[in-house]
Chains A and B, each alone.
Chain A
Amino acid sequence: MAINTDKNVYTVVFASVMVIVVGSILAFLATGLSGRINENMRFEKQQNILYAMGINDNVDEGSVNFVPTDIVEDKFSQYITEQIIIKGDQIVDNDEAYLIDMKKQLALAKKGETPELPLFIGEKDGKKFYVIPMYGKGLWDDIWGYIALDDKMIVQGVFFDHKGETPGLGANINQRYFMDDFTGESIMAGTRYAGINVAKGNNDPLNNDKEDNEVDALAGATITGNGVSAMIKETLNLYKDYLKTIRTN
C-alpha cells in the first residue's frame, strides 16, 4: 500500500523522526570525536605558541610549518619554562594556562571584570621570550594569534590565524610575508604602549623601518588589517601592568 505523504499527521511524524535521527547522528558523532578534536586543538595551541617563539619546521622563506604533532608536547615542555596566569595583581603558575580561552577573557575585561590572562615564558638559545595570546575581530569572523616579546618589548615573532577571512585577501594574515614583518618591531613608542599598526601605503613595503610601530598592510584587506592592529593593541593593553615589571629599557 502506497503511503499518503500529503497528510498533515504524516508530515509532522516524518519531521519529528527526522529531527530525532539527525540529532542522534550528530550527537553521537560529536561525543565520539570530541576527545580527538580537543586533543588536536590543544596540539595546535602548543604549535602556535612555539611558532611565535621561532620554533618551527619552516624550510624556506615562504613556508609556514609547525613542529610536528607527534613531538609538539615534548618540544613545548622543553622550550616553555613557565606558564602563568595573571589575574589583577595575582600571578600564579599553571601548567595548563594554554587551555584558557582568550575570547572569553577579553569579553570579561570588556564587561569590567578581572580576566585571567595566560602568559608563556620560554627560553631559546639563552634568550627569554614572553608569549602573549591574542583574540580579535576580522572582517567576517574571529581572528587570533600569539606575539612573542623580549624584555625590551621588541617583537621576536608572531603567529596569526583566522576563522573565515577572505581567501587571497584577509586570509593572508597567516602568511609568512605578513607575519615576518612584525619581527623586530617595538610595541613601545617612547614610554607609551603603542602596539603595531597595520598601515596602508606607508612607503615601507620591505618593513625596514622598525621604529615606526607600523607594518605594511595586505592589499585589499583593510578591515582585516585594522582588526589585527586593534587585536594587538587591546590585548597588550590588558597585559601592560605585567609587562612594566619585566621591561628593561
Chain B
Amino acid sequence: MGLLSKKDANLIKDPLADNNPITIQVLGICSALAITAELKASVVMAIAVMFVLGLGNVVISAMRNIIPSKIRIIVQLIVVATLVIVVDQVLKAFAYPLSKTLSVFVGLIITNCIIMGRFEAFALGNGLWRSFLDGIGNSLGYGIILVIVGFFRELLGSGTLFGYPVFGDPIEKTGLYSFGYENNGFMIIPPAALIVVGIIIWVQRSRNPALIEEN
C-alpha cells in the first residue's frame, strides 16, 4: 500500500488538472490577474497560499463540529486572517527580505476565493488528514496556473524570467532585440492575464472534451 490511498491521492491530483480551482472552478481569478506580471511573485504567492490553505483547512476541519452555522463565514474569515498575520509576522522576524517580497500579496490571500471555497466545500465536512490534502492539492493547482501565467507574462512583457534577461538588453538592443523584437507592454497589465488564463482553459478543454459544459 502506498503512502496515500487512491481516494486521498485524488485529493492532490484532481485540482491539478480536471478540477483546477482557477480553470474549472473559476476561483481565485482576481489574484491570478493581479500578481502574475512577474514569475517570482507567482511562485511566492503560490507558496503562501499553500501554507494558509493547508493549515486553514486543518483548523476548520478540527472545529467543524463546534462552529455555529450562523457565524461560520465569520469564523472562517478569522481563521484565514489569523494565519495570514502569523505568516506575515514570522517572516518579518525570521526572513525579513522574503517578507518584503510577500507583503504585497499577504492581503490578497485573505480575499482569495479558493480559501473560503475550500473551507466551505470541503473542510467543514471532512477529517483533518483529508482536509490537509485537499488544501495542498488545491493550492498546487492554483500555483501551477499562476506560474504558467507568470512565465508568459514576464517573458513576453519584460523579456526576463525571475528578473534575469532572457532575450537580451532592450535598451542596448542586444540579443533578440537586435532583430527588431520589442517587449509587449500589454502583457504586464492585468487584462493580459485574463487572455492567458483563457488560452489555458481553451487548451485544457480541447484536450479533454469531458470538461466542456453542456448548454
Residues of A within 8 A of B (CB): 3, 5-6, 10-11, 14-15, 18, 22, 25-26, 29-30, 33, 36-37, 40, 43-44, 62, 163-169, 171, 177, 205-206, 219-220
Contact, CB under 8 Å: B89 / A29? yes
Can you name 19 A-B residue pairings with CB atoms under 8 Å?
Answer: A5-B66, A5-B68, A6-B68, A10-B68, A15-B68, A22-B82, A36-B93, A37-B89, A40-B92, A40-B93, A40-B96, A163-B103, A167-B34, A167-B35, A167-B41, A167-B104, A168-B157, A169-B188, A169-B189
B interface list, Cβ under 8 A from A: 34-35, 37-38, 41, 65-71, 74-75, 78, 82, 85-86, 89-90, 92-94, 96, 103-104, 107, 153-154, 157-158, 163-165, 171, 185, 188-189
Chain A residues with CB under 8 Å of B165's CB are: 62
Decide if A168 touches B103 in the complex (CB within 8 Å). no
**Shortest beta-carbon distance from B91 to chain A in Å:** 10
Chain B residues with CB under 8 A of A33: 89-90, 92-93
Report how far A148 CA is from B26 CA in the complex, Å: 48
Contacts A22-B78, A166-B37, A205-B171: A37 and B93 contacting too (C-beta < 8 A)?
yes
Q: Are A3 and B188 in contact, with the CB atoms below 8 A? A: no
- Give A3 to B69 CA distance when docked, in angstroms: 12
Q: B96 to chain A: which residues have CB within 8 Å?
A: 40, 43-44
Known interface pairs A14-B66, A167-B38; 5 further A-B residue pairs with C-beta atoms within 8 A, sorted by A's residue number: A3-B66, A11-B71, A33-B92, A44-B96, A168-B157
Q: Which of A6, A18, A167 has the most CB of B within 10 A?
A: A167
Min CB–CB distance A221 → chain B (angstroms): 10
CB pair B163–A5 under 8 Å, yes or no, is: no
Give bound CA distance, A27 to B154, whole Å: 39
Task: Establish whether residues A168 and B188, one from each chain, have CB atoms under 8 Å apart when the complex forms.
Answer: yes
Given A5-B66, A14-B68, A30 contacting B89 (CB threshold 8 A):
yes
Question: B interface, by DSSP: helix, strand, loop or mixed?
Answer: helix
Please pick, from B67, B92, B104, the residue contacting A164 in the complex, using a CB distance under 8 A.
B104
Where chain A touches its partner, the secondary structure class is: helix
Query: Once bound together, how far apart are the Cα atoms of A168 and B171, in whole Å?
Result: 18
Q: Are B185's CB and A220's CB within 8 A?
A: yes
Min Cβ gap A198→B in Å is 17
Q: Which 7 A-B pairs rank lowest in CB-CB distance, beginning with the nearest?
A: A168-B37, A33-B93, A40-B96, A36-B93, A11-B68, A168-B188, A5-B68
Tell me the complex Cα distance, A78–B41, Å.
Answer: 36
Q: Is the CB of A220 within 8 A of B90?
A: no
CB-based nearest B residue for A169: B188
Closest chain-A Cβ to B111's Cβ sits at a distance in Å of 13
Complex: how many Å from CA A13 to CA B96? 38
Please judge, given known A-B contacts A62-B165, A220-B185, whether A5 and B67 are in contact too, CB under 8 Å. Answer: yes
Interfacial chain B residues near A36, Cβ < 8 Å = 93-94
